[in-house]
Amino acid sequence: MTEAVQNVSQSQIEVENLNLWYGEKQALKNISMQISKNSVTALIGPSGCGKSTFIRCLNRMNDLIKNCRIEGRVLIEGKDIYGPDVDAVDLRKNVGMVFQKPNPFPMSIYDNIAYGPRIHGANKKDLDGIVEQALRSAAIWEETSDRLKSPALSLSGGQQQRLCIARTLAVKPRIILFDEPTSALDPISTSRIEELIMNLKKDYTIVIVTHNMQQAARISDYTGFFLMGELIEFGQTRQIFHNPQERSTEDYITGRFG
């Protein structure tokens, strides 16, 4: 806990007065948040509250949506990612993302992992090492080392998700965004991914959107509660789940909504 508190001073992501509209509809309202390095930050809130929209602002995934307009600043390591000289592809290399449904490419396990490094110009002779390292870091090496040429789609759902995490790690990002990474997985696969996320924070900064409140409580250092496009409360996870300061946070996490 003390370590996490000290890390507040080393913000890796700083969001300042972020507003976002889909056409006329405002989806994010004046969000400011500082996310510290080597921490896990969980974002919770009911469907449609803006948490996924928010996380997608952190690697400019919303650029791809028509009629989406953004105001405010998102600084990553001090640099505004919406600045004119920022290349979105480079940004997404540094800020990786893992989605709700595992989405391996329809190719071999090996090629899934090698895909990113190849695009970014990795040397062919380094590829074997990069693939092994990524699979090891995503805790799936043991299960795949003897079948690297098999189709990735032959893996189970939980394995596919770890493969997708390995694929993200292979391009050496500094931040990883998880958008409900376990909502399609069984409890054992979920535990594996949770354990993995907690281990990954040694080397990465992690932001995770989850509908599973116990998951947020288990794995995160900080929790943000979103409601109707606003960040209602943001603080240490222990505080949020033990003694939230805002009534609506309390109502949400104890199931008193609606």
Q: Footprint of another protein on this chain (CB under 8 A)?
A: 213-214, 217, 241-244, 249-250, 253-258
CB of 13 to another protein, least distance (A): 27
| CB closer to another protein out of 2 and 243 | 243
CB of 151 to another protein, least distance (A): 39
| CB closer to another protein out of 10 and 214 | 214
Residues 6+ apart with CB under 8 A from 108: 148, 149, 150, 151, 152
| CB closer to another protein out of 230 and 250 | 250
Half-sphere exposure of 83 (CA within 13 A, CB side): 10
| CB closer to another protein out of 109 and 216 | 216
C-alpha to C-alpha distance for 44 and 90, rounded to whole angstroms: 28
C-alpha to C-alpha distance for 60 and 223, rounded to whole angstroms: 22
Half-sphere exposure of 106 (CA within 13 A, CB side): 0
CB of 54 to another protein, least distance (A): 22
CB of 33 to another protein, least distance (A): 21
| Closest to 58 in 3D by CA, of 22, 27, 18 | 18
